[in-house]
Amino acid sequence: MPTIASMHQRSVFAGFTILWLIGGPCSLLRAQAPVEPLLQKYCLGCHNDNEPEAGLSLQTFESLKKGSDDGRVFDPQNPSASLLLKVLAPTGDSAMPPEGEPQPTDAERKRLRQWVLAGAKIAPMAAGRPQVPDIKPFGTTTPTLLASTLLSDGKTVIVGGGRHVAAIDTDSGEQTWQTTLSGSRVTSLAVAEAKPWLAAAVGMPGVAGRGLLLSTADGSVLAEFGGHTDAVYAAVLNSTDTVLATAGYDRRILLHDVATGDVLRTLEGHNGSVFSLAFDPTGTVLCSASADGTVKVWHVATGKRLDTLSQPQAEQYAVLVSRDGGRIFAAGADNRIRVWKLISTDAARINSLLISQFAHEQPITRLALSPDGTLLASVAEDRTLRLWNTSPFSARQSLPTQSAAVTSLTFIDNTRLFLTCIDGHHQILSIPAPDQTKPPEETMPDAAPVAVTLPDQFHEIQEGDVENHVKSPQAVALPAKISGVIAAPTQSGEDSDCFRFSAVAGQELVLELRAHGEKQDLDSRLEVLTADGQPIVRTMLQAVRDSYFTFRGKDSDTSDDFRVFNWQEMELNEYLYADGEVVKLWLYPRGPDSGFKVYPGFGKRFTYFGTTPTAHALQAPCFIVVPRRPEAKITPNGLPTFPVYYENDDDPRREFGRDSRLFFTAPADADYIVRVRDARGFGGPSYGYQLTVRPPQPDFEVTVSSRKISAAVGTGQEVMFTARRIDGYEGPIHVDIAELPPGWGFSGPVEIQEGQLTAFGTIYAVEGAQQPAADDLKKVRITASSAGPGDKDLGTLEELKLTQDPGLRVTIAAISETGSSEAEAVVQQTVGAEPWPVLSIRPGQTIRAMLRLERHQHKGIVSFGKEDSGRNLPHGVFVDNIGLNGLLLLSDQSEREFFITAAKWVSPSTSTFFLKSNVNGITSLPVTLRILPESEDSNRQVTVR
C-alpha cells in the first residue's frame, strides 16, 4: 500500500510530459533535447491544470513551482534534494509513474533527471499528446489556407495556413514571397497599425500554441510569445503595437508586452475555447468571442471584465469592433449576426443589443469589415457569402456560393473581397455596385392613396340567378351592397359567389361581409382575385428571426402571455408570424412567469395584413417577420418568406365575430373579382350574406370610462379614454377636459398615441378646491381632436364631488443623481399651469423615482398594479423591475423607490403620467415625463432630471 508521501511523490512526476509540444521553439528554456514530450506521455494525464492530482500540475513552469497540496516539489537552490528528482528512481514506493502504468526507459529517466538538475524549466503544453497516425497522401497536396490580412499599402494580402505564410499581390494575384513556419499551423493573421509587423496565431490542437510577430517584408519570425497550453486561434495587436493579445483552446486570453515578451495580464472567465479577438480603435478594450456562447468586453489596462454579451444561443466564432469604436459585431453557430452598442470603455456598463439578424442557414464562421467600415461580409459553413450595410444595418446582396469551405475574408476595398479556402486556393471576388433602381424592401408605398370619386349612393345588387363563379363573375358597379346566399354543396363542389368590379392603381376599398338572416350560419371567407381568378399578393413577409412557443400554446383569442423562445431579441411593434397569422408585439414580458402582450394589449388580439387568428400548439414555430413589397427583390437570409394574399376569414379587428372584413388597394388599373364562400365549405338557405364594397372613410370614436368623479384635496380619480378606430385611421387623438372649476385640474390634454386605443388622465383637487356648483359643472367640456377626421365633442361630467377623507395621498418625487429624493413641488394648481414634478429619460435608459404615501384611514397593503402600474406612460415606456407582485407598499411601508425604463426606439415627447392605487382608485397628482433625444450614453442605466 503506497503511503501518502509516496502518492505525493507520484503526483510530482505525472505531469512532466506535455509541455514541449505547445511551447514550440522556446529554445532559451533548454539546452538539450526537450523533456515536454516525456511529461505529456507519462505525467500530465494526472497532473494538469484541470485535474491536478494531489494539487500538483506540471502543465506550466509556474504551476510546477507552486508544488502540491503537501508543499514544494522542486528546490531551485538545491535541485538534487528535490522531491521531483527522488520520484524518478525506478524502484521504491515513491517511484513514478505508479506500478501498472507505462514506464519510462532508462534513457528517458536519465533525461528527466538531467532536466531537474538543470533547473526543471518547461514551456507550457497541452495535457496530453494526441496519437495521430502518420497517413501519407495519395498524391500531390496543396497546403491549406486558414487566414488572411491586408497590409497598409492596400495592395498586398498576407495569407497563412499549413505551416507557411505568403504574400499575394492583389492586382496580379501572384505570390511575391513565401516563408515556412516549421511545426506551426497559422490560424489567424492581423496587421500592425504602424510597424512592419504581422501578428500570427499558430499551433496544433492538443500539441502546441503561441503567438508570433512576423515581418511584413518576408514573413520571418521576429518574436515568439508563449504561455498557452493548447492551440492558439487568435492574435491581435493594439493600436499602438505595444500589446499582443492571444487566445485559444485553453480558454485563456494573454496580454503580452511586445517589447519584453512578458505576460502583462491573464484574462480568465470564458468557459470554452476563445476563437476570435478584437481591440477597439483606441486599444482601451478587447472583445473576445468564445465557444461558451458569449462575447466578453475586457478593460486592457486592468484586465477587468466590463461586460458579458450573453444573448447568443451557441458558439461565437467571430467578433469585430467598428472602425469608429461604437459597435461590436459578432456571429457564430446560431446563424445570426449581432450588433451591440459599445459603451463600456472605462467602466462596467450594459452594452445594449442593437441588431440580431438571422443571416445564414448554417453556422457563421467568419466576418470581415471593409476599410471604411460601411460593409460587413459574412460566410457560413454551407459556403454562402453575404454582404451587409453596417449603418443602418441591412442586407445588401449575396455573393456566389463557394465550392470549398471559406476560411478567411479580407476586404481589399469596397469593390473587392479576398477569400481563402480550406483546399488551399484563394480568389478575389468583385463586389457589384448596389442596384440604385431596386425598390426598397417595404410592404407598401408611402405615397398617399389615389382618390377616386364614387357615387354617394350604394348600388343595391342581388346575387343573380345564374351561377356566378370565377370564370363568369357577376359585374357590379361601386360602391355596392350585394345580397346573396351560399348554396349547399353539390356533386360538382362547394358554392362560391364571384363579383367583378373595376379599380384604378392605388384605389383603396373596404370589403365588409355580414351574415344575413335569422340563423346566420355562414362563416364567411373573402378573397380578391385578378380578372382571371388568380390570387393577388398583398405583401411578402420575410422572416428575420426564428422562434417557437414555449410553456404553453395559444388559443385564437388571447392577446396576453405570448411566451416565445429567445424573446429578448424581439422588439415592440415587430410582427410575429405563426401558421398564417400575424400579430404585433405590444408589451415586453414582465418577468420569468409572463410573456409578450400583443396588440391591442387587452381583449381579443388583432391580426394584421388580413390574416386570421388561429390556435398555436406548444413548440409550434413562429417568426419575427418584416413586410416587403410584393415586387421586391428580397435578399435571402436563410429563413422562409411567406406570401400574404388579399383574403380574410375573420375580421382582423375582431368587431365582426366570424364575419369578414378586408382592406384592398388595387395594384393596377384593372378588373378584379371578389369571391365569397363559406370557410368550411358549407352552404344552404340559412347561409345568406350582405357584402359591402365601398371607399374607406377614416374616422374615430372615443368613449369616456367615468363621468362621476370624487376626489379629496391632493388626490385624483382616473378617467380612461378608449378609441374605436374606423376604416384604418391610426393617427394620434388628443383628449382634453376644459373649464374645470377653480381648484380642480386635469392631467391633460392626453394623447391616444398613433396606433393605440387608450389613454389615461386624472382629475384631481388641490388646495382651494371647493364643491362645484351645478352651473360650474355644466361648463366642463370633454373634447377629442385629430389632424385627420377632426374634432369630437364628448360631452361633460355628470358629477364632480369634493370628499374630505381620502384614506391616503400618493406623491411621486424625482431622485437626483446623488440618490437623494427631492421634495415634491408645492402644488398651487391653476388652469394652464403645470407645477408638477418633472422626470426626464432618454431612449434605452432606466431612471429612478420615489413613491410616497401619506396614510390616513388606510393602513394596509397598497398596490399600484403590475405591468399597468404606470398610468398613461407613452408606448414603450413602462414601470420596470416590478417582480411577481407588482408595484406595492406593505402595511408598514410609506415609501419605496421604483424604476421607469424607456425602450431604445421611443421618440422625444412630453406627457404626463400618474399612479393609481387599489384604495378607492385614488391616484397621485400627475408627473410630467420628458423623453429627451438619444445621447451617446443613452444605453446605460442612469437617473436624470
Concatenating the DSSP letter of every residue in 605-619 gives: PP-STT-----B-TT
| Buried residues in 36-46 as b, exposed as e (16+ CB within 10 A) | bbbbbbbbbbb
Residues 6 or more apart from 255 whose CB is under 8 A from it? 243, 244, 245, 263, 264, 265, 266, 267, 286, 300, 303
- Of 344, 655, 379, the residue nearest 512 (C-alpha): 655
Among 707, 870, 888, residue whose Cα is nearest residue 808? 888
Q: To 5 degrees, how large is the angle CA 134–CA 138–CA 141?
A: 90
* Cis bond before residue 52 (omega within 30° of 0): no
* β-bridge mates for residue 375, sequence order: 389
Q: Which amino acid is at 596?
A: F
The amino acid at residue 320 is L
Strands 274-279 and 285-290: antiparallel
**Spatial separation of the C-alpha atoms in residues 440 and 432, rounded to whole Å:** 18
Specify whether the CB–CB gap between 913 and 871 falls below 8 A. Answer: yes
Cβ atoms of 919 and 810 within 8 Å: the answer is: no
Dihedral angle of Cα 266, 270, 276, 280, to the nearest 10 degrees: -60
Residues 866-913 have pLDDT tens digits of 989 999 999 999 999 887 789 999 998 999 999 999 998 999 999 999
Three cell numbers, residue 655: 368587431
What residues does 689 pair with on adjacent strands? 484, 515
Backbone angles phi, psi at 549, to 5 degrees: -80, 130
First to last CA, the chain: 75
- Cα gap 258→810, rounded to integer Å: 63
Answer yes or no: are the C-beta atoms of 423 and 142 closer than 8 Å.
Answer: yes
Calculate the alpha carbon distances from 901 to 335, 637, 839 in Å.
30, 32, 12
Partners of 267 in the beta sheet?
253
CA pair distance 203, 260, nearest whole angstrom = 22
Structure confidence at residue 412 (pLDDT): 96
Burial of residue 506 (CB within 10 Å: 0-12, 13-18, 19+) is: middle
Across 599-669, where does the E strand assignment appear? 621-628, 641-645, 647-648, 660-665
What is the rounded CA–CA span in Å between residue 381 and residue 12? 44
The tally of CA atoms less than 13 A away on the side-chain side of residue 591 is 11
Smallest CA-to-CA distance from 210 within 407, 15, 27 is with 27
Below-50 pLDDT ranges, the chain: 1-31, 437, 439-440, 443-446, 818-833, 936-945
* Residues 163, 181 contacting (CB under 8 angstroms): yes
What are the residues facing 598 on neighbouring strands? Answer: 585
How do strand 385-390 and strand 716-726 relate by DSSP bridges? unpaired
Give the residue from 927, 925, 863, 916 showing the smallest Cα distance to 715.
925
pTM for this structure? Answer: 0.78
CA distances from 906 to 335, 874, 909, 942 (A): 29, 8, 9, 17
Closest to 763 measured CA to CA, from 872, 840, 853: 872
| Amino acid of residue 310 | S
Q: By C-alpha distance, which of 821, 805, 887 is closest to 854?
A: 805
Return the half-sphere exposure (C-beta side, CA atoms, 13 A cut-off) of residue 751: 15
Q: Which helix (H) or strand (E) holds 729?
A: none
DSSP 8-state symbol, 728: T
Beta bridge partners of 332: 316
Nearest to 658 by CA among 575, 554, 557: 557
Q: Give buried/exposed letters for 822-850 (b at 16+ CB in 10 A, else e).
A: eebbebebeeeeeebbebbbbbbbbbbbb
Decide if 517 contacts 587 (C-beta within 8 A): no
Phi and psi, residue 441, nearest 5°: -80, 70
Q: What φ, ψ does residue 574 adopt, rounded to 5°?
A: -80, 155
CA atoms within 13 A on the CB side of 209: 30
